[in-house]
Structure 1
Amino acid sequence: MNFLRKLFNISTESSNEKLIKKQPVNLSLDDSFVHHFINNGGKFLYSTKIDEVIYNLKHIIAENKWKEISCNDIDLLKLTKDIPVTIHEKLNNTNPVFTSCEHLIANSGEILFSSNQLGSQKLSQLSDDFIVYATTSQLVKNIGEGLTGIKMNFKGNIPTNISSIKNYSISNSEDDILEFNRNSKNLYLLLFEDL
């Protein structure tokens, strides 16, 4: 009988089970972000102490056998002082990028950047490998809240070059003509609990 049900695609779900599946799921901002981020191929490490952030950063660099990284953030450079890696303060397309971000977008799993992190370079001009340091206080519901947050945080001097990364798996297929997203990155997120 199971064979016939599968063959004719007869559902054995009760009406209550169908109703439950149709119910909207309301996740907290952090749960929603993590859900979308992981579904988009992202990798993240959660930390509650700055020592854990440094430990995780060291292991990401060692696991990938990176000898050099790019980092133009003075505060983040302090985290790398005990890690055996050469640091380039100018971002380029050959070395993995270690940077911060503006916001984490919960409803899509995107990471929002601006000229504060990227300077005048476009994401597509940078390395395929990113390590992003962010805090839980940077979580916002959607892109609109992220842009409003940037506007509020930098009232007199709004940064330019605002862009985001949403896809965290690199597609090397040249045959895929539907691949329009040039901002795909192999991305590690070091998420620090600051609330």
Structure 2
Amino acid sequence: MSLFKRFFGLSKKENENEDSEERGKFMPDEHTPIDELFAINFKNNGGRFIYCDNMTEVFDSFQNILIENSWENENIYCFENKLKESFKNFKVTLSKDNTDAPCFFTTCEYLVADTGALLISSEQIKEKKLNDFPDNFIVLATTSQLVKTISEGLRGIKTKHPNRIPSNITTIKNFEITTEKNFMTYGSSSKNLYLLLLEDL
């Protein structure tokens, strides 16, 4: 999906392309492709996005995030055993203990294009509320997890888990931490979020 690279300006050559700057200036409509729709809305929500062609790029980006935030040698909150195994060679401790953890590392269920939100469930966060987690999230997802609407995502969850539908299904939509609360943010939980998006299509 070269669109993601072009839209977010993730290579020097594409950064110099004026078309990539123009791309983000218009609002999406009903004819906007699903990948572009997600990219626009996710960016508008304040999310930080890193497109990766392969796992080597994922590992490099993960390392860069750790260095940028001085999270090396820290305890990183993480529930998922697959992530713990895949990222075991980094200078962090991936642990179910969130005491003083600066960051939560997880996957998600789906990426919802029409809102730029991430759909998650008890598969990722157990029965905890988003407010129980650190302000910083690193989320690993794949391009095949893109859906247009939350309804499509909910149907996908039912299909993936036919015998036991996960509980505690919610979305993360606000990716800018603000100290000032108003009625528009009431009941929502903002997270400073890095999305590592792996191409798998």
TM superposition score category, shorter chain reference: 0.7 to 0.9
The residue number in structure 2 matching 1:190 is 196
Is the partner of 1:35 in helix, strand or coil? helix
Tell me how many residue pairs correspond in the alignment: 174
RMSD, aligned α-carbons: 2.1
TM value normalised by structure 2? 0.80
- Partner in structure 1 of residue 68 of structure 2: 63
Query: 1:164–1:183: 8 Å Cα contact kept in structure 2?
Result: no
State the Cα distance separating 1:154 from its structure 2 match.
Answer: 0.6
**Secondary structure of the structure 2 residue equivalent to 1:133:** strand
Alignment gaps of 5+ in structure 1: 1-20
2:44 equivalent to 1:39: yes
Larger Rg: 1
Match of 1:95 in 2: 102
Looking at structure 1, the residues matched to 188 and 27 of structure 2 have their Cα atoms a distance apart, in angstroms, of 34
Sequence identity (%): 41
Return the TM-score normalized by structure 1: 0.83
Q: How far 1:124 moved relative to its partner?
A: 1.5
Residues 60-100 of structure 1: CA deviation (Å, up to 9, x unaligned): 11101112211111111123222111221245674310000
Q: Distance in 1 between the 2:48 and 2:123 partners?
A: 23
Answer with 46-55 or 80-89: which moved more: 80-89
Change in 2 beyond 3 A, CA 1:44/1:158: same
Which ranges of 4 or more aligned residues in structure 1 deviate by more than 4 Å?
21-25
Is there any run of 5+ residues in structure 2 with no aligned partner, and where?
1-25
Residues 22 and 171 (structure 1 numbering): CA distance in 2 closer, same or farther, change over 3 Å?
closer
